[in-house]
Amino acid sequence: MTVIATTQLPGVRRVEQIMGLPIVVDVRDDDEPGAAVEQLFDWLRWVDATFSTYKDDSEISRINRGELRREDAHPHVRYILERCEELRQETGGYFDMNTPAGSIDPSGLAKGWAVDRAAAILDEAGFHNYAVSAGGDMRVRGRAVPEVAWRIGIQHPLDTQQVAAVIETAAELAIATSGAYARGEHIVDPHTGRPPSGILSVTIVGRELATADAYATAAFAMGPELAPHWTARLEGYEAMTILADETVFKTRGFPDE
Amino acid sequence: MRKSIAILLTVAALALPIVDATAATRATTRKIVVTKRFAGSIASVDRWGSLQVTIVVRKTTTITGTKKKVTRRMTAVSVPTYPNHTDRSVFINQNALPTLKAEALRAQSANINLVSGATDTSYGFAQSLQAAILKAKRA
């Protein structure tokens, strides 16, 4: 446990519980991003109210009860449902918003997409140094302090006190990790309905969190045989896959130290 | 555990000015700056361990005549750092023949800002940070 070695940490840090996840917004620019951060959290609460399957009056719940036709849904909802279908095809069905009960749950994509647009809110407000994390899946940009880039640890899947890798970056980057250890997120192989065995976690790094998150979920569901090979073929996204025997596969451009 | 997590942690809330009339008579301005460190509760992360967040708060008391304004600003927040990891993980670069790299993770003692995949840790972080902020507000 270390206090960041500056007593003049600029910007603002704020944590809220939205979409069932702790949302950490950490802006390190000199200007106070008060209004932009308010706008950002308002946006995330709107996404939660619109996409949550836990809220009876969300558009997704209404679609699932047959009260709202997909074509009458909000344009953002229609976009996410279309993107889910694209990703289902691209991942060979391993990323699938269709539940075994016959309903849809696009929240796995909506969360990362919401964070991408949250980052855009900060961009548009003129901020260049920030991290936005939703339960450990995040967008980072710029530097933590002028001298130091963001340093992001990748959770060691067997030991919460350790990290399996460190990514240091000043670039705009999305980082998503799917694993068996994450609370409330029990990834199953849609083809078998069971959690995959022999794989501990998949981390995907790239430009968009929505896509990185979906790829990580899909690759994890693929299991230890397929995941390292499938992730090696992705364009614009790099991957680290940790298997149950602690073998670690990294794609050529995985940006850890 | 989920229900016990505080919903809102905001630095802005810390900075709300508290205006308090005092007995001072002349309209001179005086500033008193105090920097203090507050430790949050020790949050249980899971069966493997716990974490504790520490924040540094700068409290500025500005006294002008009979008016006293107090502002608090969080100037640092601790983040979880992780010990050297040298033991079990075996790294295989898929572009090369499988190779043992026992020293692959030499740099873990340095600061880490955030952890990817750490949903549980984030819960503990939020809980502990909230406790630290509440302590700072009372100080």
Q: Note the pLDDT tens digit of each residue in A108-140.
A: 999 999 999 999 999 999 999 999 999 889 999
Burial class (CB in 10 A: 0-12, 13-18, 19+), A128: middle
Q: What is the pLDDT of residue A136?
A: 87
Neighbours of B124 (CB within 10 A): 27
Q: What is the pLDDT of residue A181?
A: 60
Q: Note the pLDDT tens digit of each residue in A11-33.
A: 787 878 788 787 888 888 888 78
Domains of chain A: 12-250 (3.10.520.10)
Domain ranges of chain B: 2-81+113-138
Put simply, the answer to whether B122 touches A24 (Cβ < 8 Å) is yes
Report residue A149 as tokens: 């880039």
Q: What is the pLDDT of residue A98?
A: 94
Spatial distance between the Cα atoms of A23 and A14, rounded to a whole number of angstroms: 8
DSSP string, A213-228: HHHHHHHHHH-TTTHH
Kindly list the residues from chain A whose CB atom is less than 8 angstroms away from the CB atom of residue B80.
1
Q: How many residues does chain B have?
A: 139
Q: Note the pLDDT tens digit of each residue in B14-69.
A: 433 444 444 444 567 888 888 777 776 665 443 334 455 666 677 888 888 888 88
Chain A / chain B CB contacts < 8 angstroms: 196
Can you tell me the ipTM of this complex? 0.87
| Beta strand extents in chain A (DSSP E only) | 2-3, 12-18, 21-27, 130-134, 137-141, 143-145, 148-155, 163-169, 173-179, 199-206, 238-243, 247-250
pTM: 0.70
Q: What is the pLDDT of residue A122?
A: 97
Q: Chain B, 35-64: which have a CB under 8 Å from a chain A CB?
A: 35, 37, 45-46, 48-49, 51-54, 56, 58
% residues pLDDT > 70 (chain B): 24
Put simply, the answer to whether B117 touches A12 (Cβ < 8 Å) is no
